Amino acid sequence: MDQVSNLVYNALAKRQGVVLPGIGTLYAVTVPAEMQKPGVVTPPVNRVELVTDELPGIPHIVDLIAGYDQTDPEQAREIYNRWLAENCSEEGVTIGAVGNIREGVFTPDPGLEEALNPVDTGAVRLPGRIDAKRVAMWVVFAVLIGVGISVGAIVWYEYSEQMRIVRLSEQPVLPASVPAAPDSPAVKVPAAAGSDSSAGESGAPAGVDSSAAVPAKQPEPVREPATVPAAKLVPATAAMHYYVIVGTYSTDQNAEKFIASAKKKNDQLEYAKIPMPNGKILVSVFGATAETEANRMKNEVSGLFPDAWVFKSKSAR
C-alpha cells in the first residue's frame, strides 16, 4: 500500500474523513439500526460516502502528507498529484485497500468494510417479549403441575400402604401361644402322730388318748390376683370379611391398654384383636360379611374414633 492510500485508509478506518483534491470528500458515516419488520432489526452499519465538494472541517490529504513526511505544502501537493496521475485510469481512481471511485460513485474495498464493521451486520431476530400475562400463565401452569404431583404422591402412598396390608393379610397366621399358668406352691401337711406313741413322745398329757389330739392347722390357699379379661383374639381369616379397625399396635400389652381405655368411653362395642404376620395387632370393634355394613359402623364410631378404617381380609376376595 502506497503512502497516500495508507493515509486515506487510516482516516476512514478511524471513522473520520479526508478531502481529495480533484475527486471530492470521502467520509465515514454510521447508519442507525432499523426495524425491518416486527421482531427483526438491522444493527448499525458504518459505511463511506463520497461527495464531490470539499467539506469544511475534514482533514485535507495535502496536510496529512505534509505532516507525515515533514515537508512543506507545495511538496506535499506534488506528491499527491503524482499519486493521482498514477492511480487514475479509464475505470476511475483506485485507492489501494480503500476502494474505487468511478463516475462519482465510491465502491469500498472488502478489507475497509471489515475494518469499519468488525461484527456481522446482518438482520437479527429479537427474542420474544415476555409480558406479565405470559408470566402469570407460566406461574399458574407450574402451580398446577406441583399440585398434580402432590396429589399423585398421596394417592400412590395410600395405595401402596393398602396393598402392603393386603399382602400381610394373605400370609398364614401362626396360632398365638398361650403362656402356661404357674405351678401352685406345694403345701406341706405335718404327719399325724401314731396311735402307739406314748404320752411323752406325742406331747399329750398323761391319761389322754393320743387319737384325741388337736389336728394340725392347715395353711390357707394362696389367692391369685384378679385379672381383667383380655379381648378375644380373632384371626384375619375368620368368617367375617370386613373389620372396623380403630387402632394398630406393636405389642399385645399396648393393645390391651388401648382397649381398656376405650371401654371407659364405650363398653358396648365388641373389641377384638387381629394379629398380623408382621407382628402388628389390629384392634377391631366390629366385624361384618358385607363392606357396606362395615362402612356404616365406621361412620357411627367416627365420633369416638376419628381414625377408624375398614380392613378387608383375605377371605373377602
pLDDT the model gives residue 25:
97
Of the candidate CATH numbers 3.30.365.10, 3.30.70.1070, 3.30.70.100, 3.40.190.10, the domain formed by 232-316 belongs to: 3.30.70.1070
pLDDT the model gives residue 172:
47
Please tell me whether residue 274 adopts helix, strand or coil conformation.
strand
pLDDT the model gives residue 233:
61
Could you count the other beta carbons within 10 Å of the beta carbon of residue 46?
A: 18
pLDDT the model gives residue 230:
54
pLDDT the model gives residue 150:
74
Beta-carbon-side half-sphere exposure of residue 214 (alpha carbons within 13 Å): 5
Contact status, residue 55 vs residue 25, Cβ threshold 8 Å: yes
pLDDT the model gives residue 108:
96
The CATH number of 3-125 is 4.10.520
Q: In what order do the strands lie in the sheet with 45-51?
A: 17-20, 24-31, 45-51
What are the start and end residues of each CATH 4.10.520 domain in the chain? 3-125
What are the start and end residues of each CATH 3.30.70.1070 domain in the chain? 232-316
With CA atoms as reference, report the closest residue to 287 among 268, 257, 313, 266.
313
In angstroms, the Cα distances linking 241 to 244, 293, 311 are 10, 11, 8
Q: Which amino acid is at 83?
A: W
pLDDT the model gives residue 167:
61
pLDDT the model gives residue 35:
83
pLDDT in tens, the chain (317 residues): 899 999 999 999 999 999 999 999 999 999 998 887 777 888 899 999 999 999 999 999 999 999 999 999 999 999 999 999 999 998 899 999 999 999 999 999 999 999 999 887 777 877 766 556 777 777 787 878 877 787 777 877 677 767 766 665 554 444 444 444 444 444 343 444 443 333 343 444 444 444 444 445 555 555 544 444 555 666 554 567 899 999 999 999 999 999 999 999 899 999 999 999 888 999 999 999 999 999 999 999 999 999 999 998 876 65
With CA atoms as reference, report the closest residue to 245 among 287, 217, 193.
287
With CA atoms as reference, report the closest residue to 230 among 159, 281, 187, 305.
281
pLDDT the model gives residue 225:
45
Query: Residues 237, 239, 245, 250: what is their CA dihedral angle, to the nearest 10 degrees?
Result: -30
Q: Return the DSSP state at 222.
A: P
Predicted TM-score (pTM) of the model is 0.42
